[in-house]
Amino acid sequence: MAGLSAAATLRFEPAARVRRLARAEEGDNAALALSASYRGERVISISFGELESVRQGPATRVVREACWLLKPWGREGRIELRALRRPTRRTLLEWLGEVEDVTVVAAARRKLVLLPGPDDRERLESTLSPTRRKMLRLEDRDGDHCVWCRTPITYQSIHATLDHIRCRSHGGADALDNLVLACATCNHRRANAPASSWLEACLDDGQPVDVDAVLRAIARSHAHHGRDLRRAA
């Protein structure tokens, strides 16, 4: 990830800024200090060892700040909570059991390792079949309509299909770079016609084709397959 320190770990000790994490303002001060120290590292390691006392609210404020800082890393980010006394470890585990956006992936006697949980989009995609997942991504890329006739369709539509720019019979891949979202009628009518020829036929027939989306798709397919698209599409 450009501009980020993939190999580095930020080691942060709240005790260098506050004596305890017992009040809301102490959590806020520690979180601000963490934010000021962050330089794009993929791992944030927080030590609770030298603090005189730790309460759930201020402690989770610091953990929340770490999660926010690691957002650009997505699921590649990691948070380590070190030097945890038993009551602190227990109260953090209780809180973590109630939230969905942070996952405990390792738990030792005095250490917890956390990963950002899946966001709403990841949770949605995890419920879909591979075909519907591709449709959702194509809808995001090209719009919620058939590229050939602009009939409104979404990844949930019964008549939504995956249309291969370079047909599978001509060696076309199932990759997103070779796919568009099309209604079943247009996909059936096109059959194995090359995409560029079918585009011309649709325009001659007065179809309201999404020309920009189709031309971008043809260019992507050409780049994906690494040879002149006009041989097959």
Q: CA triplet 214, 217, 218: central angle to 5 degrees? A: 90
**173: its two tokens:** 């891949």
Chain segment 50-60, per-residue pLDDT in tens: 999 999 999 99
**How high is the pLDDT of residue 111?**
95
**How high is the pLDDT of residue 31?**
95
By the 8 A CB rule, do 145 and 182 touch?
Answer: no
Compute the distance between CA of residue 149 and CA of residue 44 in angstroms, rounded to an integer. 50
Q: For domain 5-117, give the fold.
A: Transcription Regulator spoIIAA (3.30.750)
User: Where in the chain are the domains?
Assistant: 5-117, 122-231
User: Is-above-0.75 flag for pTM?
Assistant: no
SS percent in the chain: helix, strand, coil, step 5: 45, 20, 35
**How high is the pLDDT of residue 7?**
57
Q: List, for the chain, all residue ranges whose pLDDT scores fall below the cut of 50.
A: 1-2, 228-233
148 closest CA partner among 69, 231, 211, 226: 211
Best CATH choice for the domain 122-231 from the list 1.10.30, 1.10.155, 2.60.40, 1.20.1530: 1.10.30
Residue type, 77: G
- Compute how many other C-beta atoms are within 10 angstroms of the C-beta atom of residue 215: 14
**How high is the pLDDT of residue 229?**
44
